[in-house]
Every structure is written in structure tokens, then in C-alpha cells.
Amino acid sequence: MGENPLPADGGRRLVGTRRLLVAGALGVLGTATVLAASVPAGAAAGTLGAAAAQSGRYYGAAIAAGHMNDSTYVATWDREFNAVTPENEMKWDATEPSRGSFRFTSADQIVSHAQSKGMKIRGHTLVWHNQLPSWVSGLSASDLRSAMVNHINNVMGHYKGKIYAWDVVNEAFADGGAVGTLRSSVFTQKLGNGFIEEAFRAARAADPNAKLCYNDYNIDNATAAKTQGVYNMVKDFKARGVPIDCVGLQSHLSSGSVPSNYQQNIAQFAALGVDVQITELDIGGSGSAQADAYRRVTQACTAVPRCTGITVWGVTDKYSWRSGDTPLLFDGNYNKKQAYTAVLGALNAATPNTSPSPTTSPNTSPSPNTSPSPRTSPSPTPPVGGACSATIETTNSWPGGFQSTVTVRAGSSAVNGWTVKWTWPSGQTISSLWSGTQSGSGSSVTVSNAPYNGSIAAGSSTTFGFTANGSAATPSATCTSP
């Protein structure tokens, strides 16, 4: 606790202690959202979600659809948490077990329950070397690229507008080795290290309002090579305009292993201009040692304005992926552990969050990183009148292919429906297109809006994207609006 103290405000700590006493008397008032709204100023909240909400944060749990027939499991989730991450149900093997055939039943079960309770939902995860269906490993490079973009488009498209933050790429960095070494996977082997950037660009186009996170374990210690590799990647992405909004520290820890620089690590990532979320927290141990470790992690987050929320990787020790380590806040019988009380106290003692990226109203504000990459082309000049303009930029390229983003911008009047046309200079062909509808084929390309992005407010813009075969080209495009 010594390394990440709360703001030195003895009076506030006393209030925090009193809050804990009040907490037991508050009782259950329904959903976390309702409870958060019901906590009078200065009073302690009695649940994790409501306590976190007081400083503008969320407190979530990983939930498995397979346990939702356990009524105590669901009741504890509903009472204590105001956010959720599906533990396995949104992974590639679950959502696209065979190519092009998507299955969302289990994930939908969690999502609709969470929505009915007003919870934030974290999407986990789009591109990960693990829990990949076997068909993915047999693809050629260009096929894998289209399959990855198609997977992102379909999964994000299915949940568009419902997800607060997506773990776009999960665990891409290697353990050990030089700073910046990626784990060898089907993605690095066939697409090269640029697959991370490609995934983020596709993700932004697929759901511009979801926060896009890079998520990993063993990046909790600021001085570790793996942490520094991720740090450098985020810094580079921000510098080049590659869309990224958050870093997820999984934080699978044990009581003795919370790094002394954990808070500094969070602050360093935040200083790059991204949110930080603790995404899969569990801390092996028991009693006061476990409670102290949980307290330190909680205080480290609440001390950094852009640390916007914490998710524990499960509700009860009995269903934990590492249940032998008893790493969660509720024991196997759903009793609150010492660690629970420590977390609740730390959340109640947090000062209100002044983060420039508030997390209290999900999915309503656009992410900050919507500007196109400065690398290849300037922003389009807004046209006069109600017309639209379109600019193509190359966002990635490789031998024999490339990826582009097309920005469609409305002039001084709103646009309702748009069509963009261009002619390829040397026979390029589109292999995969998203957030638009292509008609015809050959060297003259026509793309109209998708059903959801035809309306553009005056002066605003939307994007669509594609991958193509051939050498990268940025022909000029025309845009018309009916």
C-alpha cells in the first residue's frame, strides 16, 4: 500500500473508513447503475460498480455464458459489477468456427443481459493467436488478410454501438527477447508485424465509436522489455495516426508480484494519450496479503485519471481459470473475501475522475483518434454546398497488395447517401471491402454507402476501407450525393 498511496488527505481517508461502515447498511438496490445513481454525495457505495462509478470508472467481471444457469453467479454479477467481458464467447473459435459462418448465440446471451442492466461491455478479443479455429492456420497470406478483416468487420458489425471497448489485438508481444519482439504466430508468419496496425485500422472503420485497445499480460512492470515494446508501439501508432485508444493491462498477478512501479506504468501509458484499463485482474493468494495487493492495484488505477476501469477475470474462485490460486474477490461460496473489502474501500476513497475521456456514458462520443493517417495524403478539402468529397489514402502495403481507407466528407450541408468512384491506374483489384457497398467490377470502381453510414452531418466525415491486389495507388476519387 505504501508505494501507491491515496492523495495525502487524512480527512478523506477517515471518510473512506466511515463509508465502509455505511456500506454494509446500504443493501442491494437493484442494478449497479441504479445504485450508482442512488449514492448520495459523500456517502460510501456498497458495491464495487457503484463505488467505481463515483469516480467515473467501471468495475467489471469476466462472465462465462455456461455459468449463467447458476443463479447466485448471476445475482452477484448483477449486484456488484457495472461492466462485463465475455470470458470466451467472443473469441474467434467461438464466433467464426468455420470460415464465413458466424455464431453469436453465447456472446449474445451475455450482451443482452448486460444491456438490460445498463452495464458497459468490453469485447474480447478479435485477433489472438490462441483459440483460433484450425481453418485460419491453413490460409495463404492474402486469404488470411481478408479473413482477418472480414472477421473484424463481422464481429464488430454484429455488436456495433453496443461495445465500450474492444481488445482488437491480444497478446501479440513475446515474453522475453529484445524490446519490440512479437510472438511468432500465424499472423506474424504470414502477414508480418504490420498485422497489428492492419487490425486496428480495420477495427476503426468497422465501429468508429468503440474504443480500440491493445491487450496483453506481463506488461505490468514499467521496466520490463515486453512493456517497453508495447509502449513503443503505442507511441508509434499515436505519432502516425494509427487508431488506438487504450491499452489493457491484463494483470494476472499473485500477492507478491504487484510491481512497485505499477502505478507509474499506468501513468506512462496514459501519458501517450490513451486510456488504460485493467482488463483481466486476478491476484493469487489469500487473506491480508491478497487484500493488500488488490488495494494497491485499485489505488494505482484510481490515482491516474485515464485509468478508466478495472475488470476482474471472473466472479468466484470456483470458476476461475486458475481456481487453485483462489485469485478472485468472492470465494467458492460467493462470500466476500478480505480482498473485496480492500477494493471497495479503495474505490470509495478515490477522488472524482477528471479524465478527458469520461467513461460514464458508453458509445456516445466518438473516439479521439478518427483522423486519417498523415502518412500518405492530406485531409480532403470540404466541398462547397451539399456535395461530398472523397480522398483515398494508403494505410498499409506489402508485396502484391495494399490496404486503403477512403474518407468521405460532407460539405456545408448534410449528405444523405453517397457514391464514390475512381479508376485504377494499373489494374488493381479490390479483394475485401468494408463499410461500403461495391457495384460493378473492372478498373472503374463504384462504392456506395453501407446501410449505416449514408448520413453524414455537414462538415463531418465517414470512412470505408478495402484491401486490394496490385501495387498501392491513390487515384483521385469523385463523390456524389443524391
Residues near ligand G3I, by CB under 6 A: 87-88, 130-131, 170, 217, 250, 280, 321
> Considering only CA atoms, which of 279, 355, 303 is closest in space to residue 4?
303
CB 429 within 8 A of CB 440: no
Q: What are phi and psi of 415, to 5 degrees?
A: -115, 135
Least separation in angstroms between residue 222's CB and ligand G3I is 20
Measured from the CB atom, the residue of 250 and 298 that comes closer to ligand G3I is 250
Give the separation between CA 420 and CA 408, rounded to whole angstroms: 8
Least separation in angstroms between residue 106's CB and ligand G3I is 10
Measured from the CB atom, the residue of 230 and 347 that comes closer to ligand G3I is 230
Measured from the CB atom, the residue of 147 and 219 that comes closer to ligand G3I is 219
Burial (Cβ within 10 Å: 0-12, 13-18, ≥19) of residue 441: exposed
Least separation in angstroms between residue 262's CB and ligand G3I is 18
Measured from the CB atom, the residue of 235 and 318 that comes closer to ligand G3I is 318
Give the separation between CA 123 and CA 341, rounded to whole angstroms: 28
Give the separation between CA 169 and CA 206, rounded to whole angstroms: 15
Residues 6 or more apart in contact with residue 190 via CB below 8 angstroms: 139, 140, 141, 144
Measured from the CB atom, the residue of 19 and 252 that comes closer to ligand G3I is 252
Least separation in angstroms between residue 321's CB and ligand G3I is 4
> Considering only CA atoms, which of 429, 431, 412 is closest in space to residue 471?
429
Give the separation between CA 175 and CA 436, rounded to whole angstroms: 39
DSSP string, 453-464: S-EE-TT-EEEE
**Residue with C-alpha cell 479483394?**
431
Helices (H) and strands (E) counted in the chain, each on its own, are 14, 19
Least separation in angstroms between residue 280's CB and ligand G3I is 5
Measured from the CB atom, the residue of 86 and 229 that comes closer to ligand G3I is 86
Least separation in angstroms between residue 131's CB and ligand G3I is 5
Measured from the CB atom, the residue of 219 and 477 that comes closer to ligand G3I is 219
> Considering only CA atoms, which of 204, 183, 194, 64 is closest in space to residue 128?
183
Measured from the CB atom, the residue of 215 and 404 that comes closer to ligand G3I is 215
CB 320 within 8 A of CB 329: no
Least separation in angstroms between residue 203's CB and ligand G3I is 17
Residue 209 CB coordination number (10 Å): 17
Least separation in angstroms between residue 391's CB and ligand G3I is 38
Whole-angstrom CA distances from 364 to 84, 211, 326 are 18, 11, 37
Give the separation between CA 87 and CA 62, rounded to whole angstroms: 5
Q: Which residues are catalytic?
A: 171, 280
Give the separation between CA 124 and CA 400, rounded to whole angstroms: 32
Measured from the CB atom, the residue of 250 and 369 that comes closer to ligand G3I is 250
> Considering only CA atoms, which of 34, 106, 31 is closest in space to residue 74?
31
Bond preceding residue 125 cis, omega within 30 of 0? yes
Burial readout 25-49 (b: 16 or more C-beta within 10 A, e: otherwise): ebeebebbbebbeebeeebbbbbbb
Least separation in angstroms between residue 87's CB and ligand G3I is 5
